[in-house]
Each structure stands twice: as C-alpha cells, then as structure tokens.
Amino acid sequence: MSPAAPAWLMQEVRRAKRGRGADLVADTQALLQGLNLPTVCESARCPNRGECFSHHTATFLILGDMCTRGCAFCAVQRGRPLAPAADEPQRLAQAVSRLGLRHVVITSVTRDDLPDGGAGHYARVVAALRHYCPEVSVELLVPDFAGATAALARVLAAGPDILAHNIETVPRLYPQVRRGADYRRSLALLQQAKELAPDLVTKSGLMLGLGEDAAEVETVLQDLRRVHCEMLTIGQYLAPSLHHTPVARYVSQDEFASWRRRALELGFRSVAAGPLVRSSYQAHKFFQEIS
C-alpha cells in the first residue's frame, strides 16, 4: 500500500491540473482533437497537463497511442497498435504552427512490432517540422529501438536538436517497473547517440519514489555522465492508478534540491528536479539555458 501523499504535494497537483484556466486548456484540447493528435500529457495522465495546455503547449505522442510493452509505472495502454498514419508528420507540423511553439517535444509509444521500431516515422516527423516550421527547435524523446543502432542513426540523420531517452529508474527495479527494457541498453543508446552525432544534446529522466535508495540514484547519475548525457530531469513517481506500481515514498523538496546540486556537480549542464518535473517539463526554458 502506498503512503498517503503529503498535503503540499496534493496542492501542487491540483494547481498544475487547473493551469491558467479551463478555457485555455479547452482551446488546446480542441485543436489537438481536431487534428487527431494524441499527447503523452493525456495518454500518460501527466499531472502537468492543465498547466501545459493552458500555455498552449503539449508533448506530442506519435506512432499511435497503443504501446507494445506496458511498463508497470506507465498509464499508456498496452496492445496491438495500428500502422503509422502517413499524414501524421504534416498534421503535427500544422499543430506546432497553430500553437505558436518555438520548441517542440515529440515522443512515442514503443513499437516493437515495426522492423525499425518507428525510426523512419520519427525521421519523417522531423523532416516535416524542418520544412514547415524551420524556426522551431526539436526535442525527441525516443524508445530504445530494441538496441538497433541503425534505427537510432536514422533518427539522428534527420537532425533533431535534442535526443532524449529516459533511464526511468535504478537497474535493480527494472524487472519490476520496466519489463522489456534493459538498463545497459538504454545507457548504450545515449552513448551511441553522442558517438553518431557529437554535437547533439542528449537528455534523460529519472523517477524517485519507486523504492530506490540514495546509493543507487548516485550510481545512475554517474552512469549517465559516463555516457556524456548533458540534460537531466528528476521527478516524483505518482502511480496513475491502483493497478500500477505503488508509490514507495514521497520525496521532499529539499531532497530534490540536493539531487539537483549533486547532478550539477557531476557535470550535467541542465537539471530540472522537483515533485512534478517530467521529461518535457519547461523543455524550451532548459534548452535555452544551454543553447
């Protein structure tokens, strides 16, 4: 059974869900629904979705909203996905233009059913953005492509500004939390990204509150720096339902601040750490800081 969430955290969640107002949130939702574009904000039940939608921003979820895996921490549905929609890159570029975004974050479900894991579709999305929205910086949060270097190379050849891949948790918890994923494979993807595109900015994310201890978190941070990861997000795990992995503990604001300081000491160029920090949390702001 999970411990009770502290009152201050629940207040933060309620504030983030409200955003700046229901009308602003509804405007963004209507635009995305009209273009038939899923977001990870809604599919993963992100607590910040009201805040982001009310600022007319969102993290786009390409390649459908059905995942071939089904991690125990994630609310995205597991099942048999449909074939990628050929016109999705153009629809996504249209949404970016209409929302007036200067920085866009794009992620996807894991598509182990596709020969290239969806890498070609990622490349087409980046190409459409470069064509229709050339002034926009592009951040991709990719799956592990089952460790296929050729798939990763195809994505990088499209020229994203940031390549993110979340490590999510400490290696001991992978069998429980990230079934189908592999800690070393995820580290290798980040390392290969820097080898294939040395000027590329790489980024990763970590959740706290799943049962990890401080020594394990320290090891993950050091492992990420060894593969030259430059940007990091650290947030509180919040179980999306009673059927997902329960929260083991709630992390204090002071502990998040301490981990942020430690990550900067280790050489990360940008670190966002806090209870509601997620992979794309204020992504444009943090990219600007290091650009």
* 66: confidence class by pLDDT, cuts 50, 70, 90: very high
* 24: confidence class by pLDDT, cuts 50, 70, 90: confident
Q: How many CB atoms lie within 10 A of CB 179?
A: 11
* 179: confidence class by pLDDT, cuts 50, 70, 90: confident
The residue-averaged pLDDT of 110-128 equals 97
Is the predicted pLDDT of residue 33 greater than 80, yes or no? yes
Among the residue ranges 50-54, 131-135, 268-272, the one predicted with the least confidence is 50-54
Percent of the chain with pLDDT strictly greater than 70? 100
Is the predicted pLDDT of residue 1 greater than 80, yes or no? no
Question: Nearest to residue 46, comparing CAs of 157, 3, 38, 222?
Answer: 38
> Which residues lie closer than 8 Å to 67 by C-beta, 6 or more apart?
74, 76, 77, 78, 79, 81, 109, 110
Domain ranges of the chain: 21-290
> Which residues lie closer than 8 Å to 4 by C-beta, 6 or more apart?
none
Give the DSSP per-residue string, 17-56: HHTT-HHHHHHHHHHHHHTT--BHHHHTT-TTHHHHHHTT
The residue-averaged pLDDT of 280-291 equals 91
64 alpha-carbon distance from chain centroid: 16
Q: Please tell me whether residue 90 adopts helix, strand or coil conformation.
A: helix
Return the DSSP state at 44. T
Return the DSSP state at 38. -
Domain covering 21-290 in this structure, CATH number: 3.20.20.70
Which pTM does this prediction carry? 0.96
Contact 132, 169 (CB under 8 A): no
The pLDDT score that the predictor gives to residue 55 is: 87
Question: Nearest to residue 174, comparing CAs of 184, 164, 182, 166?
Answer: 182
Q: Quick one: which H or E segment has residue 65?
A: none
Count of positions (residues) in the chain: 291
Return the DSSP state at 239. -
The pLDDT score that the predictor gives to residue 230 is: 98
The pLDDT score that the predictor gives to residue 270 is: 97
